[in-house]
Structure 1
Amino acid sequence: MVRKAVLPVAGFGSRMLPASKSIPKEMLPVVDRPAIEYVVKEAVRAGIKDIVLVSHSSKSAIEDYFDTQFELEHQLEKKGKTALLDALQNILPADVNIISVRQHHALGLGHAVACAAPVIGNEPFAVLLPDVLVDCQDIEEDLAVMVRRYHDTSAAQIMVEEVPAQRVDQYGIVALEGDAPKAGDSAAMRAIVEKPPINEAPSRLSVVGRYVLPGEIMAILAETQPGAGNEIQLTDAIATLIKQSPVEAYSMRGQTFDCGNKAGYLRAIFHYAARHPDLGEHARAMMAEASQH
């Protein structure tokens, strides 16, 4: 059963400077809560019980956020601010653990995932990139579907979405055995390539930032040599995994927001503000007013 998830949060967030100079980019607020909370709760809703943060010494604020802050909670209780107290105490269910490991050197996503090997062991696990928010609104969430598909088939699941042809050189791109899957379905992969030249891309299906992988990929990562950007690439390890066991591309149904860049982050704020149960009406009115100027 997939009960563990790896979240690589050690990056410096240079695309979000100067805001990320002293605040981890994952802690930048999307409306009224940090971006990392959306990702962690997505994992929890998919059945994850152990959240493994692959972190850096400058990112302790992320661990602190998910910890208990007794003095603050005591003051809220003393002042009768029960709604705020409940919000703080219910960030995570009591049976969910936050575990932190360090990535001492920035050697790529594959290296970051491999840093979690002592916690993951030989168990299957999910990987969620914290830059990417996935909103499925009123349908079953994509990660939950991927986890269920893995349980049913034991095939690794790689979330993909179609991108314009001129942008395929910016992503990991998958090649399929047959036709592309419909949204919400999976299809067998035969290859995956990191940032291929536009004229050599095997498809327009890009890897989004959600994976469900077997524990055996940790041994593969340990042997994976630096690839694109002289970094250890998770896509290279997945390419090796394809030769050993089934790997499928899962076509997502939700909407993605890349909070790793300023435009994507702003787009996420607009989206989640408009849907906020308390602030939505005000947010939509403010956006309508702003659009007239």
Structure 2
Amino acid sequence: MPETAPTPGRKPIRKAVFPVAGLGTRFLPATKAIPKELLPIVDRPLIQYAVDEAREAGIEQMIFVTGRGKTALVENFDIAFELEATMKERGKDLSVLDPTRFRPGDLITVRQQEPMGLGHAIWCARAIVGDEPFAILLPDELMWGKPGCMKQMVEAYNEVGGNLVSVLEVPHDQVSSYGVIDPGAASGALTEVKGLVEKPPVDQAPSNKIVSGRYILQPEVMKTLETQGKGAGGEIQLTDAMAKMIGNQPFHAVTFEGKRYDCGSKTGFVEATLALALERDDMGAEVRAIAERLLAE
């Protein structure tokens, strides 16, 4: 999709919300003292991949919705004076830390005091989002592609506006684990969204196109979330709030051209680490040799 500018009068996507309040219990004991989002995929924390993706898409302000025990997540993006002074004194290259730097005011945090669901986490950022359209990136979903998933979505937003979700096709027997779209007319990577269903039974799923952790939403979703009741799992579901916006505003899905790694699971985390290591010029050949040796044993 060629790079485009927003249609005149359409607000650009400047802000992104990162829901990072979860406890990461699936990764205990590794996450007892370290936020899951700081666990490394090769040599970069998981959260860094999502932040870099947002930056590539032109997003300026990152909003972290955090919880108790997540201070290290914010400190990761602060200036480490002692570390940098020591590295400088020893002649080390400081550019490796550049991705962890924000301009003052470009990183904002809010607290989600209770684990009431993804929709509630997004609603916690309402005052910062204000009256602007905004992006949402779920760091557990490592979306790997060139250009990145959010950049692909921003390009689509500049074309059609409204609300967008990223989607991927999965085998039909897996749809009950995800939010699924009811698709309408399609044109290239864009598909009209006629409805959204959270974790439908396999025989009732309207498609095999799953929502894959990236969103661009209009600010009106915050008003819907304010009175949103509990849905699947006894939590306030973002999917339910988005479904209510369909028909009132344009709503499309963008089929992501790239790969998705579910880093919310241990196997997905290992898969992402191996896949990204294999792509690296500085280590890919060595990692491939190690993998082949292990498989042969």
- Specify the TM-score bucket, using the shorter chain as the normaliser: over 0.9
The answer to whether residue 168 in structure 2 is matched with residue 157 in structure 1 is no
- Tell me how large the CA RMSD over aligned residues is: 1.4
The answer to whether residue 81 in structure 2 is matched with residue 70 in structure 1 is yes
Q: Which moved more, 1:18-27 or 1:39-48?
A: 18-27
Give the partner amino acid of 2:130.
Answer: G
Give the partner amino acid of 2:116.
Answer: L
Give the partner amino acid of 1:62.
Answer: L
Q: Residue 8 of structure 2 corresponds to which residue in structure 1?
A: none
Q: Residue 209 of structure 1 corresponds to which residue in structure 2?
A: 213
Match runs of 1:145-224 below 5 Å = 145-179=152-186, 182=188, 185-224=189-228
Q: Is the 8 Å Cα contact of residues 52 and 99 (structure 2) preserved in structure 1?
A: no
Taking a change above 3 Å as real, the CA distance of residues 206 and 96 of structure 1, as seen in their structure-2 partners, is farther
Which deviations, in whole Å up to 9, do the C-alpha atoms of 1:95-115 show, x marking residues without a partner? Answer: 781111100000000000111
What TM-score does the superposition give when structure 1 sets the normalisation length?
A: 0.94
The answer to whether residue 283 in structure 2 is matched with residue 279 in structure 1 is yes
Which deviations, in whole Å up to 9, do the C-alpha atoms of 1:17-52 show, x marking residues without a partner? Answer: 221122111111111111111111011101111110
Q: Which moved more, 1:39-48 or 1:274-283?
A: 274-283
Counterpart CA distance in 1 for 2:95 and 2:207 is 47
Taking a change above 3 Å as real, the CA distance of residues 14 and 90 of structure 1, as seen in their structure-2 partners, is closer
Taking a change above 3 Å as real, the CA distance of residues 96 and 256 of structure 1, as seen in their structure-2 partners, is farther
Alignment size in residue pairs: 286
State the 1:219 CA deviation: 1.1
Q: Residue 20 of structure 1 corresponds to which residue in structure 2?
A: 31
Give the partner amino acid of 1:225.
Answer: G
- State the SS of the aligned residue for 1:174: strand
Q: Is the 8 Å Cα contact of residues 77 and 100 (structure 2) preserved in structure 1?
A: yes
State the 1:93 CA deviation: 5.7
Q: Residue 250 of structure 2 corresponds to which residue in structure 1?
A: 246
Q: Residue 45 of structure 1 corresponds to which residue in structure 2?
A: 56
Q: Is the 8 Å Cα contact of residues 49 and 95 (structure 1) preserved in structure 2?
A: no
Q: Is the 8 Å Cα contact of residues 41 and 92 (structure 1) preserved in structure 2?
A: no
Identity of aligned residues (%): 41
Q: Residue 9 of structure 2 corresponds to which residue in structure 1?
A: none
**Structure 1 residue ranges without an equivalent (≥5):** none
- State the SS of the aligned residue for 1:57: coil
Q: Residue 6 of structure 1 corresponds to which residue in structure 2?
A: 17
